[in-house]
Amino acid sequence: MKRISKEIKISVAFLVSIVLLYVGVNFLKGSNVFSHDNTYYTVVGNAGGVAAGGQVMANGFQVGTVNRVVYDYACPDRIVLALRVNESLRIPKGSRALLVNSLLGGVSIELKLAQAVECYADGDTIPSGVANGLTGQIEHVMLPQINALVPKVDSLIVALTVLVTNPAVDSSLSNVESISSKLDRTADELNRLFHNELPRLMADLQGTAGNMNKITADLATVDYAQTMARVDSTVANLQSLSAALTSDRSSVGRLLSDTAFYNNLNGVCTNANALIEDVKANPSRYINISVFGKK
């Protein structure tokens, strides 16, 4: 048995290294050199940064990789993407290859599978498109809203600046500080009231409650029936007195109701007044003064 020369060993090791390197690079790219994958093509106007080795997804699962990106220099709006997809995946006709931008800046291909019986064959071209992913929503939905919000934010900042630089704010803060100090003093007074005056007030209320209880007890011992009987008797006596005063049979009733007596009494008063006036006017008629036996 002949010995294998050193040169042959080195050549075999070099070839094995190249094969392993090729297999490793393709494995890192997501392709398996030992499996037979189908290749599909899609044409886009703007690759959006997609590169060879990019992921090909279907329903959120990686089913292949971007094998190569070919730029058509004769037609600048034509970029051909070669998609290497697992042979087990059947792509129905009507499906689309959508470019999806991620937040981290990477671009992947999303296969939007259609519902059809007939499928694309190996080497067919799939229509392309751009997915309205999260980045597209940010660009087309959020950015216009943010741009519309920026002038409002600017006006709000200007208003806040004017408010902060207004001298009235300092005076308002001073007033707030004064009010706060007054509230502190009020709280202290309330604390003193609750600790000093309130117990005394409660003691007075308890004393008053005791007196009320005593009065209630005394009222409970009163003979209301006897008291009401006395009240009824007093009312009856008053009614009898009133009847006697208004009756023409009694002397007092006659005096109060006799008009002749009233007229005579009025005439006596009138005559008495006339007599007093005459005495004042002519006292010599009624009064004689004798001095030493002479009139």
Delimit the domains of the chain by residue range.
1-34, 36-131
The Cβ of residue 28 has, within 10 Å, a number of other Cβ atoms equal to 9
- pLDDT tens readout for residues 96-119: 888 887 655 578 888 888 888 899
Mean pLDDT over all residues of the chain?
78
Tell me how many degrees the CA angle 183-185-187 measures, rounded to the nearest 5: 70
Question: Lowest-pLDDT range, 43-52, 60-69, 247-256?
Answer: 247-256
**Average pLDDT, integer, range 70-95:** 87
pLDDT of residue 1: 42
Which amino acid is located at 180 in the chain? S
Model-wide pTM > 0.75: no
| CA–CA distance, 123 with 70 (Å, rounded to integer) | 15
Q: Residue 3 pLDDT more than 80?
A: no
Nearest to 82 by CA among 111, 113, 119, 43: 43
d(CA 188, CA 131): 69
pLDDT attached to residue 137: 52
pLDDT in tens, 141-200: 566 777 778 888 888 888 778 777 777 766 777 778 888 888 888 888 888 777 777 777
Asked whether the predicted pLDDT for residue 132 surpasses 80, the reply is no
On whether the CB atoms of residues 40 and 67 are closer than 8 A, the answer is no
Q: Give the pLDDT score at 227.
A: 80
